[in-house]
């Protein structure tokens, strides 16, 4: 589904990635973890075409998408969320979904009754059924994150990339988000989840890839990776020290 081959990228001479390899098979839900600044978000930016790869290739669903325009890549069936939710604050929740549905389409932009029902159904599934006419700016952070996630689902993408979907959430809110990802977003889809909350990653992902200073330092089953000495040292150790 996704093949990242030896991707390298630097900013002003400082390497953000050094020869990153990551292959994700159809249907996999892969956790992408690593300390702050290790290159997780930049990797999503490279995959989605927002940040050019200097070297290396990205293949998605059998096509070379390296450095294609973000809207072209999105149309192939790839959607993402951002560390800071990107939603349309001055539109209602339902309007946000309609706007996502019409993005990239040049035809008539009126929502049919069936289309509206589908979006309302999605909102219901995602716990926003009672917020459909609320302005997005009025939503709480967890609700904004949910809305951003539902926006990625309206196009029924093959692959979704989630950048810290539970960032800033309480443990209970985090559990709700994990359930939403497992039961709705990642159902029948391929998914990469960036998250610092290891319990959430463990519950969602059978496989974890760990970045440190822009290099893959571990890639394997969740159980293997969370016992790996280098991972404990680079990531969990530092996190504990900071806590």
Ligand X SMILES: Nc1ncnc2c1ncn2[C@@H]1O[C@H](COP(=O)(O)OP(=O)(O)O)[C@@H](O)[C@H]1O
Is 52 a binding residue for ligand X by CB under 6 A? The answer is: no
Sheet of 55-60, strand order: 14-24, 2-11, 55-60, 63-64
Nearer to ligand X, 16 or 162 (CB): 16
Is 42 a binding residue for ligand X by CB under 6 A? The answer is: yes
User: Is 116 in contact with 133 (CB distance < 8 Å)?
Assistant: no
Which two tokens mark 199? 């319990």
Nearer to ligand X, 16 or 139 (CB): 16
Return d(Cα 110, Cα 11) in angstroms, integer: 43
**Start-end of H helices in 126-228:** 141-153, 171-180, 198-204, 222-226
The CA angle 216-220-221, to the nearest 5 degrees, is 145
Return d(Cα 86, Cα 145) in angstroms, integer: 9
Is 37 a binding residue for ligand X by CB under 6 A? The answer is: yes
Per-residue buried b or exposed e for 145-180, using 16+ beta carbons within 10 Å of the residue's own CB: bbbbbbbbbbbebbbbbbbbbbbebeeebbbbbbeb
1-30: which residues touch ligand X (CB under 6 A)?
11, 16
End-to-end CA gap in the chain: 37
How many residues form the binding site for ligand X (CB under 6 A)? 10
Is 36 a binding residue for ligand X by CB under 6 A? The answer is: yes
Is 38 a binding residue for ligand X by CB under 6 A? The answer is: yes
Residues that bind Mg ion in the complex, under the rule CB under 5 A: 40-41
Placement of tokens 């030896």 in the chain = 6
**Min separation Cβ 160 and ligand X, Å:** 17
Which two tokens mark 216? 């893959």
Taking CB under 6 A as the binding criterion, the range among 36-44, 88-96, 165-173, 176-184 that sits at the site for ligand X is 36-44
Is 142 a binding residue for ligand X by CB under 6 A? The answer is: no
Is 131 a binding residue for ligand X by CB under 6 A? The answer is: no
**Min separation Cβ 40 and ligand X, Å:** 3
Return d(Cα 236, Cα 43) in angstroms, integer: 21
**Min separation Cβ 36 and ligand X, Å:** 4
Is 221 a binding residue for ligand X by CB under 6 A? The answer is: no
Placement of tokens 């029924």 in the chain = 156
Taking CB under 6 A as the binding criterion, the range among 40-48, 120-128, 182-190, 223-231 that sits at the site for ligand X is 40-48
Q: Which of 1, 24, 39, 210 binds ligand X (CB under 6 A)?
A: 39
Nearer to Mg ion, 41 or 51 (CB): 41
Is 34 a binding residue for ligand X by CB under 6 A? The answer is: yes
Is 84 a binding residue for ligand X by CB under 6 A? The answer is: no
Nearer to ligand X, 128 or 214 (CB): 214
Binding site for ligand X (CB under 6 A): 11, 16, 34, 36-42
């Amino acid at each position: 589904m996704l093949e990242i081959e030896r991707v390298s990228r630097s900013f002003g001479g400082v390497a953000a990635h050094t020869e990153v390899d990551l292959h994700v098979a159809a249907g996999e839900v892969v956790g992408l973890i690593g300390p702050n600044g290790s290159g997780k978000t930049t990797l999503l930016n490279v995959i989605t075409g927002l940040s050019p790869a200097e070297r290396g290739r990205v293949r998605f669903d059998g096509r070379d998408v390296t450095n294609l325009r973000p809207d072209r890549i999105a149309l192939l069936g790839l959607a993402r969320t951002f560390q800071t939710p990107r939603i349309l604050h001055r539109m209602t929740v339902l309007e946000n979904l309609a706007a996502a549905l019409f993005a990239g389409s040049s035809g008539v932009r009126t929502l049919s009754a069936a289309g509206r029902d589908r979006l309302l159904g999605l909102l219901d599934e995602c716990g926003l059924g009672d917020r459909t006419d609320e302005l997005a700016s009025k939503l709480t952070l967890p609700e904004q994150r949910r809305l951003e996630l539902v926006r990625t689902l309206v196009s029924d993408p093959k692959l979704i990339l989630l950048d810290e979907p539970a960032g800033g959430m309480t443990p209970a809110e985090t559990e709700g988000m994990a359930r939403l990802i497992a039961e709705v977003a990642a159902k029948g889809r391929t998914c990469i989840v960036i998250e610092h909350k290891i319990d959430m990653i463990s519950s969602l992902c059978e496989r974890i890839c760990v970045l440190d200073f822009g290099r893959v330092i571990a890639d394997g089953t969740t159980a293997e990776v969370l016992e790996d000495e280098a991972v404990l040292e680079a990531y969990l150790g530092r996190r504990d020290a900071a806590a």
